[in-house]
A and B are shown apart, each in its own frame.
Chain A
Amino acid sequence: MTRLASTLLASSLAAGVLGAGSSSPPLPDHPSKLVFPASRWRFPTAAEASVRLPSGATAFVVPDTTLPLVDLIVVARAGAHLDPPELRGLAEMTTTLLRRGGAGARSADEFDRRADELGARLYSVPTILYGAAGLRCTSDVLEEAIELLLDMVERPRFEEDRWTSVKANAAEALSRRNLDGAMVLEREWDWLMYGESHFSTRPVRSSDLDKLTPEALREFHRRQWRPENFFIAAGGDLDIDQLRELVEPRFRAWSPSAAPPGSWPPPPPSERAEPGLFHVDAHVPQARVALGHRAPELPSAVEDRIELEVLAEILAGRGAISRLNGRLRSAKGLVYRVWSDFDPGDLWPADYQVRFDTLAANTPAAVEATLEEIWRLRAQPPHPEELAVVQRELVARRYQEFDTAEEAAGYLVEDALVSRPGRYRAEYRDLVERVTGEQVLAAARLHLRPEELVVLVSGPWDQLAGPGDGEGWTRLERIVGHRVVHLEERDPLSLEPAVLDPP
């Protein structure tokens, strides 16, 4: 270090440039001496970006003419909660085939070709709660590309041969779902949190695919994909009046099914998470650890949600000051990355979780350190400087949601879909800056519940149970306070407990 620093400093001095020029004032000797003006930037609000169309659709448009490009997405409340019990996967496959099965006057091949001629990306994406169909195109072909998008969402053809291909690929994807340890951990975690019966965790099996038909998809589409069920996010080289002109004539002429759309909101999960220590075997040298519990309740006010965000950032946020990052990575070198998700949910209490990967033998030490930090947060308020840094980080992270116009519009739609109050984003900076250390402490005592903790470890049993740092698995059982439960391997197609080959 000595040689390096002195060489570089000496060469700078020799060049006569330290302090950068004779007329400039000397550079501050520490960044704390830099003086910055206050930010004048403010978050766009939903009110200035949104319009309720006469057809019933709600649109959010954030114009940006930096590039001649438009992004537009139509989101429908057409998720898996609307699957009839005997037709699992109906909502997912309907949305998937919107793009792939042809639309309007065009066969699937003709539709693909026309999209290509326009250089437009047209797509459809299913999620658990919604179906989404979108486009990205250059401004000069916007009218033609929107016509294609509207054909997709209004008049999809669900062509038989494309359905056959999509089904075959879906079956292939099911057969692969045990091959990625991260996916297995995700699945088991969801089941531990919400049970296997809730629509959000109920997996599609290969036998379910066989029950689906283009006719069933068509009927589901006619009932659920309708303008009054639509939320539109648009960003880029168009404004709200242009959007209205382009979509509203089609929306007003829409003729959906006479049957009413499915109800909203979807039903919450009925099962509770049971605390415990769970293990999934995996033949890799590293343990994947998920640790957490269900949120005790939905936030009753925006302020509650904000306090929880501050708490989560202090514990395991993405910033430099996260306690778990400091403890597990910076101080101990146990992990490459630790992260958390403390979204309390919008429709029902979600789950809080901390995640990290670590050398299998280090799992007890890493879990123990995590628990100690949780107890510490419940015991005393954060230091004022720590709180101030976290508050600034959270506000800055929100800035990133406005990196692009379509991202900004997307977040506004997300808020509208779950009826999140507009002030959550519009007043975000003030709300975060008002949070006190005592409020963080109160939030920690309400939300962090070590007695409800579920610890799920995916990793090699022989290394986890071995000597490791001295006691192996028994030490982890003592730390968590539960005997380990080994989760059964599942058949990838049926997700029933697998029948193992004899040794």
Chain B
Amino acid sequence: MLPRAARFLAWAGLAALSAAGGDAFPAPAANSLGAIDFELANGMRFVVIPRRGMPTVEAGWVVSVGSADEPPGATGRSHLLEHMMFKGTTTIGSLEAERERSLLAELDGVVRELEAAPSHRGGRRAERRTAELLTARERLEDQAEALADLGAFSLEYSRQGATRINANTAEDLTLYYVTVPAERIELWFWLESDRLLDPVFRELRKEKRILAEERRSRIEATPTGAADLLTAERFWAGTPYGRSTLGEAADVERTSSEELADFFREHYGAHRLTAVLVGAVDPARVRSLAERYFSRLPRGGSRPEAIPAPAGREAETRIEIDCACPSQVRILYPTVPFGHPDQYRLQGLAGLLNGRAGRLHRNLVLQEGVAFAAFAQQRALRRAGSFQVTLELRGDRSLEALVAAWDGQLERIVNEAPAADEWMRTRRRLTTAHLDSLKDPHTLMRRLLVYAGLGDWRRLSAWPLRIAEVEPEELSAVARRYLKPEARLVSFYRETSKGPW
């Protein structure tokens, strides 16, 4: 076995650079993950990372559609569809498929008529008809439910010892993933291709009730939930990035199963899917199974239209929000989308600010004592990006003092490039953190799915190399270019006198 330092350099792929007396800090090779990728004829892509010695395979797929792809009036559809994709298929989840299919079709008709003819517009006759329809809806739902094998899809996984069966919806993508015992990986191919080929959207109204509980948990009963949403709405005004991925409650409530089916058909074509498998798998077998199972999927239609970038601001915007949370301030600047070269520079800038030895902690928490906590984040979405600074107040100082303290730090960065050794320390720290994020196979699978959904999984593999190329002067340059006072939104979360008590 190689000595440890040599193993690090070999992984980094820069042994030659180091030997040549180049930068003392090495950067990893472009595909340091050892990933193998291929594409099926229908356009579906696969990324496989074999890891021997594991008992399981982390398997998932991503579709490049999310809440930002929903038209006005149809918000929340990606997330609702994500939930409904667990309701099974014709084969999985029905006790009597033909009869259930017929009942669900009849139910769709009743719901369509209910939507089309609200009772308050048509007098008594219309009211009577609405009452009849409501009764019919209850009856059909009960009859269909009696023919459904509830929870059967997840149960098929559980029967074979699969765990972490879950999915997530974001602005630009939706992920579906599961941990499968390695020797049973064919089950994943069977079930996932089946639900992509033939999903059945049963129990829609009940799922909407569950979504309402999710909304309460994530937004209404969470200390900063409502304030975060309001901040996003103002910052991303004029774009679909400003709304919750959960969508508007009223939009979700009136979504029909036919509309969901249309949304599925429009967006879930094979050419918009990427699967990632990490674990005890043989790439050749994965390829063979992928051909057998996923080649059945239709290629699908075109990508959705581009989403407009947020309108440029001409003056700083400040908003005040009462919040049952610790007083804090969020400062947001519009930046660049995923894949833009400045993304790495902005992430490097965030790295310079973060951490125990980072500028925010050292100056705002330790020296000035104005902040309880302080951190920065560059967030890249597919069509836009943001740089956010979060500052939590300590003691009886004012939120305005926090903003002034941040402005002092920003001014320093803008006017003076960080010293080379400070940037080298930051890069070193960022690379260790990056390596750590690749360690857990479940986390790695999900990160690859996110990168694939945003446009290119290889950018995760090449990330340390790109960071290593950033020069200190470029950190000041991106601060000047993007962190402009007139472009920013400053959102003050002011603690109300009472919390949840």
Chain A residue contacts of B339, Cβ below 8 A = none
A169-B365 in contact (CB<8A):
yes
Q: Which of B179, B183, B432 contacts A400 (CB 8 A)?
A: B179
Smallest Cβ-Cβ distance to B326: which chain A residue? A176
CB contact under 8 A between A179 and B435, given known A37-B183, A285-B220: no
Q: How long is the Cα–Cα vector from A120 to B190 in the complex, in angstroms?
A: 43
Is B104 part of the binding interface, using a Cβ–Cβ cutoff of 8 Å? yes
Cβ 8 A contact of B216, one of A5, A184, A285, A332: A285
Chain B proximity mask over A470-490: 1 for CB below 8 Å, otherwise 0: 000000000000000000010
* Interchain CB contact under 8 A, B183 and A399: no
Kindly state the separation between the CA atoms of A204 and B164 in the bound complex, as whole angstroms.
Answer: 37
Report which of B91, B158, B200 forms a contact with A29, defined as CB distance below 8 A.
B91
Chain A contacts for B70, CB-based, 8 A: none
> In the complex, A20 Cα to B214 Cα: how many Å?
39
Bitwise interface map of A from 389 to 423 toward B, beta carbon under 8 Å scored 1, else 0: 10011011101101110010000000000000000
Nearest CB in chain A to that of B55: its residue: A41
Query: Are B190 and A27 interface neighbours, CB within 8 A?
Result: yes
Secondary structure of the B contact surface, majority rule: helix
Size category, A interface: 35 or more
Min CB distance, B16 to chain A, in Å?
16
Q: Are A320 and B51 in contact (CB under 8 A)?
A: no
Q: Which of A172, A179, A399 contacts B395 (CB 8 A)?
A: A172
Which B residues, 487 to 501, have Cβ-Cβ distances below 8 Å to chain A?
A: 495, 498-501
Return chain A residues, CB-CB under 8 Å to B207: 333
Q: CB < 8 Å: which of B104, B160, B429 contacts A119?
A: B429
| Given A333-B207, A400-B179, A172 contacting B8 (CB threshold 8 A) | no
B198 is an interface residue with CB less than 8 A from chain A: yes
**B206 lies within 8 A of chain A by Cβ:** yes
Residues of A within 8 A of B208 (CB): 333
Q: Which residues of B contact A52 (CB under 8 A)?
A: none
Tell which of B60-68, B116-124, B437-445 binds the partner: B437-445
Q: Could you count the A-B residue pairs with CB atoms below 8 Å apart for me: how many are there?
A: 292
Q: Is A66 part of the contact surface with B, judged by Cβ < 8 Å?
A: yes
In the bound complex, do residue B158 and residue A140 qualify as a contact, i.e. CB atoms below 8 Å apart? no
- Among A17, A168, A176, A281, which residue has its beta carbon within 8 angstroms of that of B369? A168
Stretch at the interface among A108-116, A189-197, A293-301: A108-116
Cβ of B159 within 8 Å of any chain A Cβ, yes or no, is yes
A8-B298, A336-B214 in contact; A404/B158 too (CB < 8 A)?
no
Q: B377 at the A/B interface (Cβ < 8 Å)?
A: no
Interface centre among B206, B355, B499 (most CB of A within 10 A): B499
User: Given contacts A284-B220, A320-B154, A334-B213, is CB(A399)–CB(B433) below 8 Å?
Assistant: no
- Contacts A1-B261, A38-B183, A403-B441; is A180 near B223 (CB within 8 Å)? yes
A2 at the B interface (CB under 8 A): yes
Closest Cβ–Cβ distance, residue B24 to chain A (whole Å): 11
Q: Contact between B432 and A138 (Cβ–Cβ < 8 Å)?
A: yes
Q: Within the assembled complex, what's the spacing in Å between the Cα atoms of A115 and B428?
A: 10
Does B466 make an interface contact (CB < 8 A)? no
Interface residues of B in 368-389 (CB under 8 A from A): 369, 372
B196 vs chain A, min Cβ distance (A): 8
Contact flags B199-215 to A (C-beta < 8 A → 1, else 0): 11100001111111110
Best-surrounded residue of B4, B92, B104, B191 (most CB of chain A within 10 A): B4
- Give Cα A121 to B429, complex, Å: 8
Q: With A5-B90, A67-B11, A396-B179 in contact, do A335 and B213 touch (Cβ < 8 Å)?
A: yes
Complex Cα distance, B154 from A31, in Å, reads 12
Give Cα A113 to B156, complex, Å.
52
Q: Is the CB of B209 within 8 A of A333?
A: yes
Complex-state Cα separation, A21 to B294, whole angstroms = 12
Check: A371 CB closer than 8 A to any chain B CB.
Answer: no
B46 CB to closest chain A CB (Å) equals 15
> Cβ of A21 and Cβ of B357 under 8 Å apart?
no
Q: Is A151 an interface residue (CB 8 A)?
A: no
* Cβ B501 vs Cβ A138 within 8 A: no
Q: Is the beta-carbon distance between B501 and A282 smaller than 8 angstroms? A: yes
Please determine whether A396 and B501 come into contact, CB atoms closer than 8 angstroms.
no
**Docked-complex contact A319 and B163, CB < 8 angstroms:** yes
Chain B residues whose C-beta falls within 8 Å of the C-beta of A136 in the assembled complex: 432, 436
With contacts A29-B91, A66-B51 taken as known, whether A140 is within 8 angstroms of B9 at the C-beta atoms is yes
* Of A84-92, A269-277, A323-331, the one with at least 4 CB within 8 A of chain B: A323-331
Query: Assuming A116-B425, A178-B499, A285-B221, is B155 touching A389 (CB within 8 A)?
Result: yes
Closest chain B CB from A54 CB (angstroms): 25
Complex: how many Å from CA A321 to CA B366? 50
Q: How far is the CA of A335 from the CA of B215 in the complex (A)?
A: 11
User: What chain B residues lie within 8 Å of A321 (beta carbons)?
Assistant: 151, 155, 158
A31 near B191 (CB under 8 angstroms)? yes
Q: Are B298 and A12 in contact (CB under 8 A)?
A: yes
The reply to whether A400 and B325 form a contact with Cβ atoms under 8 Å apart is no
The complex places the Cα of A64 from the Cα of B435 at a distance, in Å, of: 14
Which residues of chain A are within 8 angstroms of B369 by Cβ–Cβ distance? 165, 168
CB distance from A70 to the nearest CB of B (A): 8
Is A24 part of the binding interface, using a Cβ–Cβ cutoff of 8 Å? yes
Decide if A18 touches B296 in the complex (CB within 8 Å).
Answer: yes
* Interfacial chain A residues near B470, Cβ < 8 Å: none
Any A CB within 8 A of the CB of B187: yes
Interfacial chain A residues near B500, Cβ < 8 Å: 178-181, 184, 282-284, 458
Do residues A283 and B372 form an inter-chain contact, with CB atoms below 8 A? Answer: no
Other-chain residue from A27, A66, A137, A319 in contact with B292 (beta carbon distance below 8 A): A27
Distance between B469 CB and nearest chain A CB, rounded to angstroms: 17
Is residue B337 within 8 Å, beta carbon to beta carbon, of the partner chain?
A: no
Grouping DSSP codes into helix (H, G, I), strand (E, B) and loop, the A interface class, with mixed when no group exceeds half, is mixed
Contact with B along A356-399 (1 / 0, CB 8 A): 01110000000000000000000000000000110011011101
Check if B405 is an interface residue, CB within 8 A of chain A: no
B363 within 8 A of A: no
The answer to whether A34 touches B165 (Cβ under 8 A) is no
Q: Does A237 contact B (CB under 8 A)?
A: yes
Instruction: Please state if B210 and A39 are interface contacts (CB–CB under 8 Å).
Output: no
Among A21, A31, A41, A333, chain B packs the most CB atoms within 10 A around the CB of A31
* Complex CA distance for A395 and B183, rounded to whole angstroms: 14
Can you name the residue of chain A whose Cβ is closest to the Cβ of B26? A140
Judging by beta carbons under 8 Å apart, are A357 and B221 in contact? yes
The reply to whether the CB of B394 lies closer than 8 angstroms to some CB of chain A is yes
A39 contacts which of B105, B182, B498 (Cβ < 8 Å)? B182
**Chain A, residue nearest B209 (CB):** A333
B497 (CB) vs chain A CBs: closest residue: A501
Report the bound CA distance from A338 to B355 in whole Å.
35
Question: What chain A residues lie within 8 Å of B495 (beta carbons)?
Answer: 179
Does A212 count as interface, using CB distance less than 8 angstroms?
A: no
Q: How far is the CA of A396 from the CA of B433 in the complex (A)?
A: 28
The residue of chain B having its C-beta at the shortest distance from the C-beta of A33 within the complex is B190
Smallest beta-carbon distance A263→chain B, Å: 34
16 of the cross-chain contacts (CB-CB < 8 Å) are: A8-B265, A9-B198, A18-B296, A41-B182, A113-B425, A118-B428, A139-B4, A139-B7, A165-B369, A181-B500, A329-B210, A333-B207, A335-B210, A336-B213, A388-B159, A402-B54
Which 8 residue pairs are nearest across A and B when measured between Cβ atoms? A119-B428, A320-B154, A333-B209, A139-B4, A181-B500, A41-B55, A396-B161, A179-B499
B residues sitting closer than 8 Å to A (CB atoms) are 1, 4-5, 7-9, 11, 42, 51, 53-56, 90-92, 101, 104-105, 108, 150-151, 154-165, 179, 181-184, 186-187, 190-191, 197-201, 206-214, 216-217, 220-221, 223, 257-258, 261, 264-265, 291-293, 295-298, 324-326, 355-357, 362, 365-366, 369, 372, 394-395, 425-433, 435-436, 438-442, 495, 498-501
**6 additional contacts, CB 8 Å, given A2-B105, A12-B297, A140-B7?**
A9-B197, A20-B293, A69-B432, A179-B499, A396-B181, A400-B442
Q: Which residues of A contact B (CB under 8 A)?
A: 1-5, 7-9, 11-12, 15, 17-18, 20-21, 24, 27-31, 34, 36-41, 64-69, 99-100, 112-113, 115-121, 136-140, 142, 162, 165, 168-169, 172-173, 176, 178-181, 184, 236-238, 280-286, 288, 318-321, 326, 329-337, 357-359, 388-389, 392-393, 395-397, 399-400, 402-404, 407, 458, 489, 498
